[in-house]
Chain A
Amino acid sequence: MTEITLVQAVNRALFDAMRADPDVLLLGEDIGVNGGVFRATEGLIKEFGPERVVDTPLSETGIVGAAIGMALYGLKPVAEIQFLDFIYPAFDQIVSELAKFRYRSGGQYPCHVVIRSPYGGGIKGGLYHSQSAEAYFAHTAGLKVVIPSNPADAKGLLTSAIFDPDPVIFLEPKRIYRAVTGEVPDGDHRVPLGSASIVRPGSDVSVFAYGAMIPPVVEAAKAVQAEGLSAEVIDLRSLVPLDEAAILKSVEKTGRAVIVHEAPRFVGFGAEVAALLAEKALYSLKSPVRRVTGYDTPFPYALENLYLPNAERIAHAIRASAREG
């Protein structure tokens, strides 16, 4: 066990997976010589060489399309998209190809591909270095979508993603790449896809979040604790597959739910969680489900601190949820 940052945990997972399996290789922009613009791939080219740490031309379509071809042929490519905001040129390859190859070929051609990408705001990145686009991918049948919030999960989930036979969109909360350190098990540490985790047990209100929203949610939970309110914080970790049982179990206990994400609210992932509660836990609910999210605008630059959900907004929603009903 060692204390490392989230981005170092990503780096560890890549090292370990590449050592364990020669079919694992990386593709992306500036990932080799430069070690990635966030240094997630630092040192890998030194150990594995340019055949396995492939610096590509500036083309996301190319990166994802080539990764698909490699996977069809039997490799396990891990593609990096430099910022999630730059994934859209590859959208066709992801939505029309990656997500559908297995299905359209009657199961003959699975796509063993991981796409890693830093996502989210909080780094003064404005419109195009801040987006949380998880909902597009979660909406697309055939893609798994995973978002860690701490170093141990980053390593464990990425390792599971790399050895998962299905395509996985692995979103890394760049705002907390270096903000949090934590113990990370050495060796083949895996966290199964599709399992949520209870970050902080509680009894009055359930708060569901993921990625970079976990720290402000925990801060809010601590704040309301001082007022005698017990919030249970659940890190979804994996949006697809979704740990529905964990969500329902928590709400059956608390009867109240707040969902937090930094992506815009309208048709955001929180809507799926809210719908799940309406469908399967309505009679457990004592007050309306609340969402604390980014606003339904593009991501701003100067006003990002007001756009992103903060601990105060989250605490406000927890209190309101507890007060009603």
Chain B
Amino acid sequence: MSQAVELPKPGSPPSDAGGIPPEDLPKVYRAMLLARLMDERCLSLQRQGRIGFYVPLQGQEGAQVACAWALDPSDWLFPAYRELAVALVRGLPLVSLFDQFIGNAGDVLKGRQMPNHYGAREYRFVTASSPVGTQIIHAVGAAMAAQRKKERIVTVTFFGDGTTSSNDFHSGLNFAGVFQAPTIFFCQNNQWAISMPRERQTRSKTLAMKASAYGIEGVVVDGEDVHAVYRAVRDARRKAIAGGGPTLIEAQVYRLGPHSTSDDPKRYRTDAELAEWKARDSVGRVRQELLTSGGLTEESEAKLLESLRAEIAMALKEAEGTAPIDPSTLFDDVFERPTPRLDEERAEFSKFLTEGVLKP
């Protein structure tokens, strides 16, 4: 495996001052655990056929929670499909995530999207698309709008290593550089784009160095070190707010699970590589740090796990008890007002439902 920067060996001490405030660390750990437990639950729900599909995030909890922790609720986020932990820190309720995964009447997206593509305007967490990279340039446009409105926020866009090959990654960096947009490009280099390893994506030594060609700052951080990620995002945010322009952050992490529930990573990568990265996992590192500092004990952790599992179970129960989506919503939101043609189609559709030509 080619490694762009030396990552700390397992068990190495946490990075120096300026990381996550000590009083926040238990909350950070809680968010990371919640994401991991939620992930495990969703994988099993998919296997049981209770949700149709799922994109896991295991291995990326630390990078996501630390990044989100360094932001302000006023900042706008432009995620891809793997940002569960960001969504949780942001405050998206578990039940709303389950509603989306099921596509029921409680889903704010009205059952339009595959699982994992959630988004909620209320949380400034913009609904994700599947085509990779498209959100990157949106984040830049939104940052340009915030500049114009003189609002002191940043936009943050999330994407993977493979997505640095997309057109919109390059348009995004270029625009952000030219217009000095207050955007943070948060790239989670999880080493794989489905079956393609990071080194098959680009000849560049790091992904962060692509920033320099666009005249903007690029930094590489150990994405399994929550303090390093927190610091990098906090600094990038301060700089952007002060008018210093965008930053590309490459957080080096690892996708411990499959790309999605449709993927079989055994076809393209080794167990040895997986084991190596498991040993660096951010969840284990933060846990160790808290156990050492006394912020966590085996008993308090057991209690925490139990309460998180209960929280998840309760949300799932609620979502599974919610009615299915109303079929007539199919024709909503194509435009603000339907065209005459859409009205005609909706009428035919309703008639078909009544007559049993269509069965919900």
Contact = CB atoms under 8 A, between A and B. Distances in A.
Interface string A247-267: 000000000000000000110
Contacts of B103: 301-302
A62 B104 CA distance: 38
A313 B358 contact: yes
A302 B325 contact: yes
A58 B358 contact: no
A155 interface: no
A16 B107 CA distance: 48
A306 B330 contact: yes
Contacts of A163: none
A298 B329 CA distance: 12
Contacts of B131: 85-86, 88-89, 128
Contacts of A89: 131, 166-168
Given A34-B195, A89-B131, A58 B166 contact: yes
A197 interface: no
Contact of B200 (A55, A59, A124): A55
A313 B345 CA distance: 13
B114 A59 contact: no
A312 interface: yes
Contacts of B360: 306
A37 B262 contact: yes
A77 interface: no
Contacts of A128: 114, 129-131
Contacts of B342: 295-297
Interface size bracket, A side: 35 or more
Contacts of B345: 265, 295-296
A97 B163 CA distance: 24
Interface string B304-345: 000000000000000000001101011100100001011001
A126 B112 contact: yes
Contact of B357 (A266, A295, A312): A312
B201 to A, nearest CB: 5
Contact of A306 (B129, B267, B327): B327
Interface string A63-96: 0000000000000000000000110110000000
B174 interface: no
Contacts of A303: 111, 325, 327, 329-330
B114 A126 contact: yes
Given A37-B262, A126-B112, A297 B202 contact: no
B184 to A, nearest CB: 21
A126 B165 contact: no
Nearest to A126: B114
A295 B162 contact: no
B132 to A, nearest CB: 6
A301 B111 contact: yes
Interface string B88-112: 0000000000000011100100011
Given A296-B341, A302-B103, A33 B195 contact: yes
Interface in A279-325: 295-298, 300-303, 306-307, 310, 312-313, 316
A258 to B, nearest CB: 14
Contacts of A296: 334, 339, 341-342, 345
Interface string B231-270: 0000000000000000000000000000000110001100
B158 interface: no
Contacts of B129: 128
A302 B352 CA distance: 18
B219 interface: no
Given A61-B167, A296-B345, A306-B330, A55 B196 contact: yes
B117 interface: yes
Contacts of A107: none
Nearest to B200: A55
A58 B196 contact: yes
Contacts of A37: 194, 262-263
A125 interface: yes
B174 to A, nearest CB: 15
A85 B352 CA distance: 29
Given A29-B194, A88-B131, A124 B349 contact: no
Nearest to B103: A302
Contacts of A153: none
Interface string A98-132: 00000000000000000000000000111111000
24 contacts: A33-B195, A57-B162, A59-B167, A85-B131, A86-B131, A89-B167, A126-B112, A126-B114, A127-B114, A129-B114, A296-B342, A297-B342, A300-B330, A302-B102, A302-B111, A303-B111, A303-B329, A306-B327, A306-B349, A306-B353, A306-B358, A306-B360, A313-B358, A316-B357
Given A58-B193, A126-B113, A300-B330, 13 more contacts: A34-B195, A61-B167, A89-B168, A124-B53, A125-B114, A296-B341, A297-B330, A300-B111, A302-B111, A306-B353, A306-B360, A307-B330, A310-B358
